[in-house]
Amino acid sequence: MRVSVYVPFVVSALLALLAPWAAPRLPPRPAAWALTCAALVTAGGWAGALALLAFTGVGQIPEVAEQGPWSVTVLQAENPVRLVVAVVGGMALAGSAVALGVAARRQLRALLVARRDCARLPGGELAVLDDPRPQAYALPGAPGRIVVSRGMLCALDDAERQALLAHEHAHLRHRHHAFQIAWRLAAAVNPLLRPLAASGAFVLERWADEEAAATTGDRTVVARAVARAALATSRARRHPGALAADGGPVPRRVRALLAPPRRLRPLPLIAGALLLVLCCGSLAEATVDTDAMFAGAMYPHGTPAHRAAGGQPAGSGRRSPSAATAEPDTGPKRAR
């Protein structure tokens, strides 16, 4: 536990540094799934490591140790974690729990607002707004809706409109809002994952761009549609729960569309998988070490105060000597 409990923190920092570099160099679909796995695993490892650090400090509270029961003195002698580190870990764990609750509430509210707006929009999957301001976005719902304004349709030609609609349809078909929710919740638990969540937003737009290019068969048209949509909506206000074609760094997306599609490189995926395995293995090792440390500090027959009172640990199934001698004589003894 001396080192293993801190490995999830190191893995989180490495992924925060490597994700912005590796994600744009991979095909967007596997990159999105890889970022999701990395975010969920490292967020769990972060919370688990903080819980282990905090428990080593909580276990030294006399009232808690009495319920173990274990010796506070023995635990302090065997514990490799300083009390100040345990206190900081407990405070960080509480902060992560609060941040997760706030983020979950915010994401749920945005999702409910998007579904409510979907139910109010007229038409089928495509809703055309009679609005001169250029707008185009996908709203998640049951089912989701593609919202396009009259101003946006007038800003694009026929081929670009087809590319724009294919882009927004890809957001709905692949449920990209679920990826965003997972990244934002993981980043709320583990603040080091915020660069990973930002990289994920760009990957989702690239995923939808590639789907639109496959649908239209012309990557140049999609690049032109993305650029024109971004210029038209530069000052437009976007729906909080929407996924829009003008999202992300538009120049990088246009350059990627004008270049050949990315080939899958297994090396970044393998390196990321090894980091996640290291994170899980180290957390498991720290958990086993913590359990062994508390087991070694346990009293074999209850706390000293409990033994002095003549008691036995709960569930032992044995009576104390004082209890046995206190039993009344219920009848005459049988003669031998």
pLDDT of 333 reads: 46
Give residue 317's pLDDT: 42
- Per-residue pLDDT at 198: 87
Point out the residues of the chain with pLDDT beneath 70.
Answer: 1, 234-248, 300-336
Smallest Cα–Cα separation from 112: which of 245, 201, 240? Answer: 240
- Residue pair 86/53 in contact (Cβ under 8 Å)? The answer is yes
Query: What is the per-residue burial (b if ≥16 Cβ within 10 Å, else e) of 295-315?
Result: eebbbeebbeebeeeebebee
pLDDT at 55 (0 to 100): 92
**Both tokens assigned to 92:** 């960080």
Every domain of the chain and the residues it spans: 4-304
Distance CA(283)–CA(280), nearest Å, equals 5
Q: Take residue 227 and report the two structure tokens written for it.
A: 């650029």
Please compute, for residue 13, the number of CA atoms within 13 A of its CA located in the half-sphere on the CB side.
5
pTM: predicted TM-score of the whole model, two decimal places: 0.82
What's the one-letter identity of residue 329?
D
Cβ–Cβ < 8 Å for 201, 253: no
Q: How far apart are the first and last CA of the chain?
A: 62
Encoded amino acid at 278, one letter: L
Distance CA 128, CA 148 (A): 5
pLDDT at 67: 80
**Contacts for 305 with CB less than 8 Å, ≥ 6 apart:** 66
**CA–CA gap between residue 229 and residue 152 (Å, rounded):** 7
Exposure string for 107-136, b = 16+ CB within 10 A, e = fewer: beebbeebbebbeebeeeeebebeeeebbb
Question: Helices 176-189 and 158-173, interaxial angle, to 10°?
Answer: 60
Instruction: Work out the angle at residue 287's Cα, subtended by the Cα atoms of residues 281 and 288, and round it to the nearest 5 degrees.
Output: 90
Q: Distance between CA 119 and CA 105 in Å, rounded?
A: 21
Q: Which residues contact 150 (CB under 8 A, 6 or more apart)?
A: 128, 129, 130, 131, 132
pLDDT, position 74: 86
Measured between alpha carbons, how far is residue 309 from residues 61, 213, 279, 318 in Å? 21, 79, 46, 15
Nearest residue to 138 (alpha-carbon basis) of 256, 247, 248:
247
Neighbour count for residue 319 (Cβ, 10 Å)? 12
